[in-house]
Amino acid sequence: MVTSRSVTPPPGLARQARERFVMEMDGAAAAMAAAAQERLVALTQLPGTAKEMQERMQAFQAFQQLRAAWVPGVRQTWRKAWTQPHTTHGHMDGGTVGTLTLIEDDEVETRIQVSRLALALTHTVTWELNDLRLRVQHLEKISELAPHDVFRPEVLAGVLIEQWLACGLTRESWELVQDHMRAGLAKRLLLAYHHANEFLIQQGVLPEIDLKPLLKRSTAGAPTTRPSDKVPRAEGGGNATGAGMAAGGASAVKAEAGQPGQASGAGARTDAEGHATAGHMPPSRALQRAQGVFGQLKRLVTEKISGLPFGAPAAAVAPSPALAEALQHSSELISQYAASEDIEAIHARLRQQSAAIKSKASTASEKATVEIVALMFQSILSEERIPAGVRVWFARLQMPVLRVALAEPEFFSAPNHPARQLIDRMGSCVMGFDAGVIGGSALETEIRRVVQVIEQYPETGSKVFQLVLGEFQKFLAGFLTDKDLTRRVVSVAQQVEQKETLAIQYTIELRNMLNSVPVREEIREFLFKVWAEVLAMAAVRHGAQHEDTLSLKRVATDLLWTASAKPNRQDRAQVVKQLPQLLQRLRTGMSLLGLSADAQEAHIKAISDTLADAFMSRTELIPQSQLDDMARRLANLADVVGEATTEEIQLDSGSIEAMLGLEFARIDVIAEGGSHPSDAMLAWARELQLGSWFKLDHNNEVRQAQLVWRSDRGQLHLFVAADGRTCLFQVRRLAAYLQAGLLVPAEEDALTVRATRDALAKLDANPDRLLR
């Protein structure tokens, strides 16, 4: 690897390179703090729900207070990292393969956040980091950088996130700003690696790097190199954040045998109670089918292996030593699979490695587990609707899933096992896209990140699957609505739901307030049916405590006072003086609601007639103390109104379309009307998973559509078809479409259930393969 131009470097050169690198990155914290500040300020000015706006403001205020602690904390810890590497926190480690240890949830979450940042940085700095890694290995005569070496991106990522949490900031606030800070940090890190390489080259350390010795050591497939062929694919170390993780386009290839479930395109039939009987798959029926498959598998295995409690929950048991060693070796090989590789070649290598692992198993249970997991992944990798480039990342999950299946036998009997759920969620999302859309997309990048995080923490069992499943679902919520048109529709639709929900809650609170108050029926109805809507719209548009909203709340108590009896001349004079301004404020509120001029005048006339009658009335007075109390309660109505309303809102499609405007002409709003779905269908509608694909039959046009958004309270669901057409469903109409078979899941069974069924078919035909 050393060329003829290499010279003997002076001693202590690697230490000097690290010191220069640390000093160059010393200012990263200040730059990231400025980027975080900019992002948080921008977030406080974005529209959103009241809860979102409050959370953003709280994050901004907390950062304002704690920024002064975070920046010096990062700088001090970063400088210590190269002089005292042993003091770096243990969560940087990848863990010991083959061991089972208990790790706190908080630490695992921190590890995942560190890994996520490190992977993103590595993606940008790959080639400079590879050069530097090889020069330092040559200089120090080592096979790999130490786990806590400051040259590793995960060490810097760990310092940044650890200090963020240590100074009192939250993981949620980090997630708000991390994407905005990452680009600048990656550029700074790339430059620092480049300068470190320049320094070592000037000192005669590998001016040129020869690939041939490294290429001979790469046995897992063709290496990934840059066009200049100056840098090899990074090797070893057992670290999923290594720089050789290549992502790219994938060639479409013909997959092997496999019979995945076909989508049902037929309309549904319903029984006398309105429950679906054919044409689509409610959750209960899908669960029964899954449990049926698992039950058949259990019977087959237990008949073949007498006394084996297959699929039953059991205490975690480490694999036998020989099997653990084989798992580790295969994991290292499989972790080198890249998206650019041929899926058929990977498929063949996986079968060979599965056979090698099985030969090391010491018990019948281990052999059966290895065989079933291998057959399941053969089925998954044969699914042609998953783009080939993505199937490679699924292939890399085989060893982590096998580890979990060995330690947690309930993997074979629990449809909701985290490992199954993660594979099912990722599979259901990608099967509706063309390979050209997925290749190189943010979705493929996220799937790659998820797989690499799982590979990095094999000792955590299903816990890491559960945590990255949550992260993947959060990613989907942003990715699926990332297009500008969809983002604007979601913003308006969320405001519609929030406004309607608040209107219901405000009406309830107003009714409670006026129960014991002598109020004319005309005024009472106006407050309930109109002014509650006005207050809700103002709260959504401006915020519950905005001056304009508070002013409209005061209108309610002013109207009540004006409409009450006025027995003395002074009160009547005050009414005459204030009435024009009160009527104008009423018009302002109704204009905010979008009422037409005629509708406004009708309300104003009714109110004016009522006030005129009250002017001369001798009815009971409303005590001033009671009015003052109502004014205070109205001003603080946001504190009374909670998030836990269960009352279903009724949306008017015309009002939604009015809020959406003409630019959203390609959106179908499916709100009121239609049949009454059963409770089971309503429950199903609320359980649909984001990212899932459906066949939607709307107005005699059948499209393949994806569920991309569900509102905070689950009242609205947004579907986007492959041709860009968008449908916004109210939940009751969505349930009605499911019940009628107008909305049919593209897949009857989850991906891992189909894979289990395929494995069962092969084992049923040849049960002897379980133990051979």
Q: Is the pLDDT of residue 118 over 80?
A: yes
Q: Is the pLDDT of residue 255 over 90?
A: no
At 242, the pLDDT band (50, 70, 90 cuts) reads very low
| Tokens, residue 536 | 């809700």
Under 8 Å between Cβ of 405 and 373:
yes
| Tokens, residue 374 | 């291998």
Measured in whole angstroms, the distance separating CA 57 from the mean position of its chain's CA atoms is 22
Residue (of 37, 50, 76) closest to 173 by Cα position: 37
User: Between residues 621 and 162, which one has the greater pLDDT?
Assistant: 162
Rounded alpha-carbon distances, angstroms, from residue 285 to 277, 291, 416, 443, 749? 10, 10, 15, 30, 10
pLDDT, one tens digit per residue, over 74-85 is 999 999 887 765
Q: Is the pLDDT of residue 273 over 50?
A: no
Q: What is the pLDDT of residue 281?
A: 54
Under 8 Å between Cβ of 502 and 638:
no
Length of the chain in residues, anyone? Answer: 772
Lowest mean pLDDT among 256-265, 359-368, 624-633, 751-760: 256-265
| Tokens, residue 705 | 């559509």
For the ranges 90-104, 423-437, 657-671, 726-740, the maximum mean pLDDT occurs at 726-740
In this prediction, residues 43-69 reach a mean pLDDT of: 87
Look up residue 563 and give its DSSP letter: T
Q: What is the pLDDT of residue 90?
A: 41
| Tokens, residue 547 | 């001056």
Q: What is the pLDDT of residue 266?
A: 34
Query: Mean pLDDT across the chain, nearest whole number?
Result: 78
Beta strands at 716-721 and 726-730: parallel, antiparallel or unpaired: antiparallel
Q: Is the pLDDT of residue 305 over 90?
A: no
In this prediction, residues 743-754 reach a mean pLDDT of: 90
Looking at the DSSP bridge assignments, the partners of residue 269 are: 278
Q: What is the pLDDT of residue 277?
A: 39
Q: Is the pLDDT of residue 120 over 50?
A: yes
Looking at the DSSP bridge assignments, the partners of residue 694 are: 705, 745
pLDDT, one tens digit per residue, over 122-145 is 877 877 888 898 899 888 888 888
- In the block, tokens 């096979």 appear at 143
Q: What is the pLDDT of residue 688?
A: 92
Give the orientation angle of helix 388-395 with respect to helix 418-430, to 10 degrees. 170
In this prediction, residues 190-202 reach a mean pLDDT of: 92
Alpha carbon distance 333, 220 (integer Å): 6
Q: Is the pLDDT of residue 649 over 90?
A: no
pLDDT, one tens digit per residue, over 556-607 is 888 888 877 776 778 778 878 888 898 999 999 999 888 889 999 999 998 8
Give the number of other CB atoms < 10 A from CB of residue 728: 28
Q: What is the pLDDT of residue 248?
A: 32
Give the number of other CB atoms < 10 A from CB of residue 315: 6
Alpha carbon distance 63, 167 (integer Å): 10
pLDDT, one tens digit per residue, over 703-713 is 899 999 998 88
Under 8 Å between Cβ of 684 and 674:
no
| Tokens, residue 415 | 């449809």
pLDDT, one tens digit per residue, over 220-241 is 333 333 333 333 333 333 333 3
In this prediction, residues 114-122 reach a mean pLDDT of: 82
Residue (of 109, 117, 144, 150) closest to 25 by Cα position: 150
Q: Is the pLDDT of residue 218 over 80?
A: no
In the chain, the percentage of residues whose pLDDT exceeds 70 is: 78
Amino acid identity at 767: P
Residue (of 23, 236, 8) closest to 134 by Cα position: 236
Q: What is the pLDDT of residue 123?
A: 72
Q: What is the pLDDT of residue 231?
A: 34
Residue 678: phi and psi, rounded to 5, are -75, 165
Q: What is the pLDDT of residue 494?
A: 82
Q: Is the pLDDT of residue 500 over 90?
A: no
Alpha carbon distance 623, 471 (integer Å): 55
Lowest mean pLDDT among 310-324, 330-344, 486-500, 546-560: 310-324
Q: What is the pLDDT of residue 439?
A: 67
For the ranges 312-326, 463-477, 638-652, the maximum mean pLDDT occurs at 463-477
Rounded alpha-carbon distances, angstroms, from residue 330 to 233, 276, 710? 18, 46, 41
Alpha carbon distance 695, 701 (integer Å): 10
In the chain, the percentage of residues whose pLDDT exceeds 90 is: 25
Residue (of 542, 538, 519) closest to 530 by Cα position: 538
In this prediction, residues 53-67 reach a mean pLDDT of: 91
Alpha carbon distance 556, 523 (integer Å): 10
Alpha carbon distance 171, 461 (integer Å): 23
Beta strands at 726-730 and 667-670: parallel, antiparallel or unpaired: parallel
How many CA atoms lie within 13 Å of 627's alpha carbon, on the beta-carbon side? 17
User: Between residues 601 and 309, which one has the greater pLDDT?
Assistant: 601
Q: Residue 717: CB partners within 8 Å, gap ≥ 6? A: 685, 688, 707, 709, 710, 711, 728, 729, 731, 734
Looking at the DSSP bridge assignments, the partners of residue 695 are: 704, 744
pLDDT, one tens digit per residue, over 363-411 is 888 899 999 999 999 999 999 888 888 898 999 999 999 999 988 888 9
CATH architecture of structural domain 653-746: Roll (2.30)
Helix-, strand-, coil-residue percentages of the chain, each rounded to 5? 65, 5, 30
Amino acid identity at 642: G
- The domain limits of the chain are 13-217, 303-479+754-770, 486-640, 653-746
